[in-house]
Amino acid sequence: MKAAGRSFRAAPLTSGFTPLLGALLLLGGPLAAQTWTTVNLHPAGSTSSRLTGLTATRQAGASDSHAGLWDGSAASFVNIQPAGVDTTYINGVSASQQAGYSVTGGNLHACIWNGTAASFVDLHPAGAVSSYAYGTDGTTQAGYYNTATESHACIWTGTAASFVDVSPAGSTASQIMASTSGEQGGRIVVMSGLYHAGIWHGTAASFVDLAPAGSTYSLVSATDGSTQAGYAIFGGITHAAIWHGTLASFADIHPATAASSSINAVSGAYQAGYAYFGGNSHAALWKGTPASFVDLHAFLPAGYTTSSANAIWTDGRFIVVAGSASNATREEAFLWKTDLFPPQHRPVVTVKGRKLVTTTAAKLLIRGTAKDADGDLAKVQVKVGKRYRTAKGPPARWKFAVPLQPGTNKVLVRAVDEKGTFSKPVKLVIVRL
């Protein structure tokens, strides 16, 4: 990325993606073959599409330069661009809110939505030349604005008037490129002209410089509040990188065979981005080390030449990666999905007797069996109300006295192994008269 005078702007996300099959993924120990499924979300009739944000249930991005939301299929795309605006883009999402920017008559304005075109709010600060929002936690938004000569990191709380400049003292320019609850990540330009990765916690004074020694350029482009991710440039080569809140925690996770690499998103132990091979970008996944690198581009259908992973979500069992893939005709929105613990690696639990029971008792004893093909069955848990409790006896032959409230009681039973993998739950309905 090159600076224009003293101001600088984020490089556009590269694109690429599509479906299927099994890759080797390092899961904190031995290599395990994972089966990846891809879903093409390119809307019918669109000339280009891309995913840039992801929650547990929705995807965000743009189709034909119109910001929009998906619910897991191409046909579910909903355009949330408001009337009177030329183009819109989403850069970051929370469970309920989307943050990005709009373009009207060549004017770029930071903005937010809450799921609909009607909810659009322009966050552009008075007097700014241009502005961008890159992240939101649903309450606080973060990004930067440009003057005629430089960029300034800033935050908002839902309105243009709430704008606060958080440029650190001693910097000549600054940008926030990622945000989660309470933490912002990005970069500054220091007096020497070098670009330094860093994080904020809501104020200019809170800035922490994360630029690793020997780097000429570094950036935090993603954070989940615990892990920060992006890249650092050494000797002209861009290396994917992660941090854990301090400069000393810096880790270079650049794949040995890649020409360059970078991270766009982080969730828990996993990072998503891209790496270049043979002059083409490939969507990529990591789990904190160079050896954990997975080339997601390999699972695309034939005909796609470039791809990029721009967002990631995981609950510890499922991983969903969002981005795009490009063929000779266009860029198309894609999802990659995998189950880290497929059925053959999950324990199994059974419950003896009927699954719909009527009783007058205040407690009902249930019992059953459990097993695990991997041989590391740990326990059986029974959910009554809002929490799981551990059943008594050896898990292979367990029992549990279910406390009952008057009326209908819904009960879930699951087996759990030593790795924390749980079985498909068995559902019971117990009616206490």
- pLDDT single digits (tens) 126-155: 999 999 999 999 999 999 999 999 999 999
The β-bridge partners of 176 are 186
Buried b (16+ CB within 10 A) or exposed e, 138-160: eebbbbbbbeeebbbbbbbebeb
Q: How confident is the model at residue 47 (pLDDT cuts 50, 70, 90)?
A: very high
Q: How confident is the model at residue 285 (pLDDT cuts 50, 70, 90)?
A: very high
Is a pLDDT exceeding 70 seen at residue 206?
yes
Sheet holding 387-390, edge to edge: 356-359, 426-432, 407-417, 377-384, 387-390
Percent of the chain with pLDDT over 90: 85
Contacts of 182 (CB under 8 A, 6+ apart): 137, 201, 202, 225
pTM for the whole structure: 0.79
For the chain, the average pLDDT equals 91
Domains of the chain, each with CATH number or no CATH = 22-339 (2.120.10.30), 343-432 (2.60.40.10)
